[in-house]
Amino acid sequence: MSKKYKWIAAGVVGILVIGLGMFMMQPAEASLDEEEVRELIGSQFGGTISSVNKTLADGTSVFEIELLSDGGIYLIIVDAASGDILSLEQSVAREEVGSPGSTDEAEKLTVEEVKSLVKEEYGDEVVISSIDLVSEAQSEDSSYEVMMQEGAGESRLIINAVTGETISYSLVDEGEHPGASSNQNNETKGEPIGEAEAARIALSKVTGEVDDVDLEEKDGRLYYEVEVENDAEGYDAYVWIDALTGEVVNIIWED
């Protein structure tokens, strides 16, 4: 081969080498944009995407996605080129956040939901006169005050505004309800209803197991104090019952 062709061949090889080197040095462009990443995560996990950030991790272009779902808040890392999920970890547990789309306020029950709970627990015959939201410093401590008529008497019920759990029950006005005049002649109305009946009445209001039943006198009136334990829910309830009429006059819950 002549020198002329050798130089031409060498030049072609050099151009190919330089071109290949330049091609290899060019960074690969991401095949996904932010909208595509949102659609990808949404289709796989649902929930609400609160933020999407594109960044580099160990030299690899990735998307960092913060997702709020029923399970809590998750941080998801997605390969920007392939769409592969590189990691997924929970950053905040569900019980530490509020409803989807809100991370600082738990969702409260509506007045209609509270009314349904009261009717379910105390029967359709009770007449609810008012339901008022009592606001506290933290939303999970908010409660509803429910005033209701039971027979001729009026009761006051405090319900957790988030969980619907009953915090306290008390009889505020007995009216002409049976037993209302027992303060004056409590001792002349006969024998107490008995511990077994007091326990039965307590369990009709509170779920659990009876741990103790005590007969006590206060202001000339006889009461049964029935302690009910609920290990599954982690609380004790103290049910105060008029010992002569069987009327529940107060319920106190303790964690």
Query: Which of 152, 132, 133 lies closest to 141 in space, CA to CA?
Result: 133
E-only strand ranges, 139-208: 143-150, 153-160, 166-173
- CA dist 132 and 226 (Å) reads 29
pLDDT at 99 over 70: no
- pLDDT tens digit sequence for 109-148: 888 898 888 888 877 777 888 888 876 544 456 888 888 8
179/149: higher pLDDT? 149
pLDDT at 9 over 70: no
The confidence score (pLDDT) of residue 173 equals: 61
193, 187 in Cβ contact below 8 A? no
Residues 6+ apart with CB under 8 A from 232: none
pTM of the predicted structure, to 2 decimals:
0.38
- CA dist 110 and 144 (Å) reads 10
Q: What is the mean pLDDT of residues 228-254?
A: 87
Residues 6+ apart with CB under 8 A from 107: 98, 99, 162
The confidence score (pLDDT) of residue 87 equals: 86
251, 208 in Cβ contact below 8 A? no
- pLDDT tens digit sequence for 178-235: 444 444 444 445 688 888 888 888 888 888 889 999 988 888 888 999 999 988 888 8
- pLDDT tens digit sequence for 62-97: 889 988 877 778 889 988 888 888 888 887 765 555
213, 243 in Cβ contact below 8 A? no
